[in-house]
Structure formats: C-alpha cells, structure tokens
Amino acid sequence: MSSTDIVSCEKNAKQEMDRLVQQGAMQKIPSWNSRFKKGNNTVFNVICTNDGRWVRVDVTCFNQCAEGFSRIRSKIGALLV
C-alpha cells in the first residue's frame, strides 16, 4: 500500500484494518485510531512513515499472543501491500 503523505497512508491503513474488525478477526481499541486488539493480550499498532510511502504494523503481546495471531498477521500483510 503506497500513498503520497502520512495522512493518506493512515487513512488507507485504517480502512484496511477496519475490514478485519468487520470480519471479527480483531477489535478496535477505543480512543486510538491506529490501534487494534485480539483478545486481551495482543495489540496491533499501525504506523506510517512521514512521507506516506510505507506502513508497518507493530505487534505487542502481553504474556502469550492471542490464538490465531499468526493467521491475522498474514491477513494484515496481504491487505497492506
């Protein structure tokens, strides 16, 4: 996924992540546009570069990652190409 500025990048990435929310694969974290969660122990944080050309999703697991984490990570990778 490529865009021309950070605002467009964040908007596009959020739309793609919202697809996974609609499919029930993860949930939004209230008050954070760029953070999503799976269960109570896995957090996905969407980050775009300042020029908007690249996006990455950092994953933080508390104790053990949620079940199905790697499957969701693969879906995110496919959406944000």
For 9-39, give the DSSP string.
HHHHHHHHHHHHHHTTS-EEPTT-TTEEEET
Identify the pLDDT of residue 35: 94
Long-range contacts of 40-47 (CB under 8 A, 24+ apart): 41/65, 41/66, 42/66, 42/69, 44/17, 44/72, 44/76, 46/10, 46/13, 46/14, 46/17
Say if residue 2's pLDDT is above 80.
no
Average pLDDT rounded to a whole number, residues 6-18: 89
pTM: 0.83
User: With pLDDT > 90 as the criterion, what percentage of the chain qualifies?
Assistant: 31
* Averaged confidence pLDDT in the chain: 86
**Beta carbons of 40 and 65 less than 8 angstroms apart:** no
pLDDT tens string 28-52: 999 888 899 999 899 999 998 888 8
